[in-house]
Amino acid sequence: MKKIFSYTNFRTLLRDFYEEKKAFEGYTYRDFSKQAGMNSSSWLLHLIKGSKNLSKHSALKVAKVLKLKKKETEYFLLMVQFTQAKSSDEKNNFYKQMIALKRRLKVIKITEEQYQYYTRWYHPVIRSLVSKIAFGNDYTVLAKSLLPSISPSEARKSVNLLKKLGFIKQLENGKWIQVSSALSTGDEVSSLNVVNYHKQVSKLAEDAFDRCSRDLRDISALTLGINKSDVRKIKARIQEFRKEIMDIAKNSVNEDRVYQLNFQFFPVSKPAEE
């Protein structure tokens, strides 16, 4: 089984622990429950499936079954709270604590940088922009190229982050270019990253009314009465349209700017039967 610090979801950790023990020792759900002092033989199964949660008291019992050391137990308790958190703000809070603990223990590698990439709207923008403007190492020029502009310090930190992630690199002549690279995080962190990113760009769209003239933007809204089947149809059309836009961007030549396109389609009422 992988080391505990490579996990972000405690349910995945429990699943891997059980499957490994079962494969080599004939371990059962009842064995786990007995060791944890629980009466239900299916308790572990419900934890893995997500139909039951762990209290701090129960989490400490599980940590003993897993034979976790002091710092591993501390991380496990944070991971339980992160996995079970309801809001993105709660998840962010516990995930930052998980990162801080791994940093203190010097077991963190690229996870923190991957998380940071989605916390600022301008990281993906700079990733695309560096190859379109000649700024060398003049971060004032780069900072002022963004709309809205950011500080030179923020621009420098963003470039350093992107370089560390392998998204951009500087050639011998001083020119920066974009490098094709992908982020890889667990499902829990990926979901949190998406939420953080969309919060950032939604706020950006809010301010676009005052920042951009009408000929440079297209922002509109529809309020629609539809049924469940129509929801699937509209989502499919949005996905098709998104692919068409991507094709246009891929075939664009002499790109001289970076645009942000947000798709926002969400319910503002409950189904009538509720």
Return the CATH number at 60: 1.10.260
Among residues of the chain, what percentage have pLDDT more than 90?
A: 44
Task: Give the chain's domain count.
Answer: 1
pLDDT tens per residue across span 183-232: 545 555 666 777 778 878 887 887 787 788 888 888 788 888 889 899 99
**3-state SS assignment for residue 130:** coil
* Cis before 148 (ω within 30): yes
Q: Is residue 78 part of a domain?
A: yes
Query: What's the rounded mean pLDDT across residues 120-131?
Result: 89
CB 7: neighbour CB atoms within 10 A? 21
Whether residue 230 is contained in a domain is answered as: no
Q: Is the pLDDT of residue 262 over 90?
A: no
- Check residue 178 and report its DSSP letter: E
Q: Is 170 helix (H, G, I), strand (E, B) or coil?
A: strand
- Of 59 and 89, the structure prediction assigns the larger pLDDT to 59
38 lies in a domain?
yes
* pLDDT at position 112 over 80: no
**Cα(81)–Cα(70) distance, integer angstroms:** 17
Is 31 part of a structural domain of the chain?
Answer: yes
Token pair listed for 256: 């001289």
Pairwise CA distance, residues 95 & 92, whole Å: 5
Q: Report yes or no: 261 and 238 within 8 Å, Cβ to Cβ.
A: no
* CA–CA gap between residue 122 and residue 264 (Å, rounded): 20
Task: Indicate if the pLDDT at residue 182 is higher than 70.
Answer: no
- Domain presence at residue 34: yes
Judged by DSSP in three states, 257 sits in: coil
Residue 142 falls inside a structural domain: no
Cβ atoms of residues 196 and 185 within 8 Å: no
Residue 136 is given by DSSP the state T
Measured CA to CA, the distance from residue 232 to residue 228 in angstroms comes to 7
pLDDT at residue 82 greater than cutoff 80: yes
Q: Is the dihedral of CA 108, 114, 118, 121 positive or negative?
A: positive
pLDDT at residue 131 in the model: 86
Q: Give the pTM.
A: 0.54
In a domain, 255, yes or no: no
* Cβ(22)–Cβ(28) below 8 Å: yes
Residues 4, 67 contacting (CB under 8 angstroms): no
Measured distance CA(114)–CA(182) in Å, rounded: 10
Please check whether residue 99 lies inside any domain of the structure.
yes
Q: What is the pLDDT of residue 206?
A: 78
Q: What is the domain range of residue 73?
A: 4-105
